[in-house]
Every structure is written in structure tokens, then in C-alpha cells.
Amino acid sequence: MNIPNHRQCFHQIMAGKPAPWIPNYELGCWGQTVQRWWQQRVMKTVSVRGE
């Protein structure tokens, strides 16, 4: 059985096709980056940590 790599698996899922596993991609931001975004008002409508 040929197991697809991350890219192939991602493309299968995006095409609505079944995949043998689901890649897990999470977004994590550095605290300094979030502070800069707030200063630049990039995130003025986004709530962080339920605030």
C-alpha cells in the first residue's frame, strides 16, 4: 500500500476524496507578534483568550 505524503494527503482532502490520515496543521503565534498586531490594529476585532 502506498501511503501519501503530507502534500498528497492534503490535496486529497481538499478535493473531497478520502485520505488514510488527516494532517494536523496548527497555527501558533509568538506573543511579540500578537502584541505587534494589536499595535497595528490588525486584530482589533479578534478576541484573544476570551477577552
pTM: 0.46
The predicted pLDDT at position 8 comes to 92
Per-block average pLDDT, block size 10, for the chain (51 residues)?
85 92 82 82 62 53
pLDDT, residue 16, reads: 94
For residue 36, give Cα distances in angstroms to 29, 39, 40, 44: 11, 5, 6, 12
Radius of gyration of the chain from Cα atoms? 17
Give pLDDT, residue 1: 63
pLDDT value of position 4: 84
Of 19, 39, 1, 33, whose CA–CA distance to 10 is shortest? Answer: 19
Cβ 37 vs Cβ 48: under 8 Å:
no
pLDDT number for residue 51: 53
